Amino acid sequence: MKVIEPDWPVERRVGAFTTTRDGGVSVGPWASLNLGVNSGDEADAVAANRGRLTDELPAEPRWLGQVHGSRVIHLADWQPEVEADAAWTDRPGEAVVIQTADCLPVLLAARDGSLVAGVHGGWRSLAAGIIERTLWAVPVPGKELRAWIGPGICARCYQVGGEVRSAFVDLDPVLAAAFQADGDRWRADLKWIAAQQLRAAGVEVFDCRRCTFEEVDTFYSFRREGRTGRLASVIWMSEEQ
């Protein structure tokens, strides 16, 4: 199993990575480590892939039923496939899992290693305030957090309609800088938007600068393929070292 590990200065007890397409049993457009149960893949293949991921982790993965919304939960309130697009924990032994295939996985860790969080950053959830709601939910100020923006679609590859631009500009006129006109549509920089929202709260931001649309052999991309798998970005804490 090949994974992408964040390059960020966090406490040793914090672990995190994003999966790639490599290392699973799925075939066809889902080849091979598809982790999405609602992707159209065979259920047995997804279950086997999730089992392989679990075997790689020192913590129990907590899967969310992501709905492109703004709900944030503490993992103490987790139930299987609970509808939420962000989660956090201050307890070792459980891992936040965020599934993506172009949307942004945003992973957060307290500077002192006391908590971790994961956010599903699609345009709808970003416009609905998922990052701000996550920062409100965790019991530490933004300046005490570090964030890593994992693989997601880049501005070169993400074309949207005017309604998407309006949703962000109505929220904050500063976010107009994330959009570049392309005929009667717009190129949108979701990573810039997420980073702007994080930095506005004092969070230190790190970006892996990898595009899911461009790296065909490494990542799934819904925008590129339509029928495709899902990556998982995982973050957890080990017991105090």
Give one DSSP letter per residue of 210-235, joined into a string.
Answer: -BTTT-TTT---HHHHSS---EEEEE
Report the alpha-carbon distance of residue 60 to residue 183 in Å, rounded.
47
Can you state the percent helix, strand and coil of the chain, rounding each to 5?
Answer: 30, 30, 45
- CATH class of the domain defined by 3-155+203-237: alpha beta
Q: What are 131-154's pLDDT values in tens digits?
A: 999 999 999 999 999 999 999 999
Domain segments of the chain: what residues? 3-155+203-237
pLDDT of residue 220: 99
pLDDT of residue 75: 98
Residue 175 exposed, middle or buried by CB count within 10 Å (0-12, 13-18, 19+): buried
Cis preceding linkage at 114, omega within 30: no
> Do residues 14 and 206 lie in contact, with contact meaning Cβ atoms separated by under 8 Å?
no
Q: What are 155-200's pLDDT values in tens digits?
A: 999 999 999 999 999 999 999 999 999 999 999 999 999 999 999 9
Report the alpha-carbon distance of residue 68 to residue 71 in Å, rounded.
9
> What average pLDDT score do residues 65-74 get?
98
Q: Is the pLDDT of residue 39 over 60?
A: yes
> What average pLDDT score do residues 208-237 get?
98
pLDDT band at 241 (very low <50, low <70, confident <90, very high): low
Q: What are 78-99's pLDDT values in tens digits?
A: 999 899 999 999 999 999 999 9
- Residue 193, both tokens: 């938007």
Torsion angle of alpha carbons 216, 223, 180, 107, nearest 10°? -80
Q: How many beta carbons lie within 10 A of that of residue 177, not counting itself?
A: 12
The three-point CA angle 141-12-77 to 5° equals 55
Q: Is the pLDDT of residue 216 over 70?
A: yes
pLDDT band at 240 (very low <50, low <70, confident <90, very high): confident
By percentage, how much of the chain surpasses pLDDT 70?
A: 100
By percentage, how much of the chain surpasses pLDDT 90?
A: 98
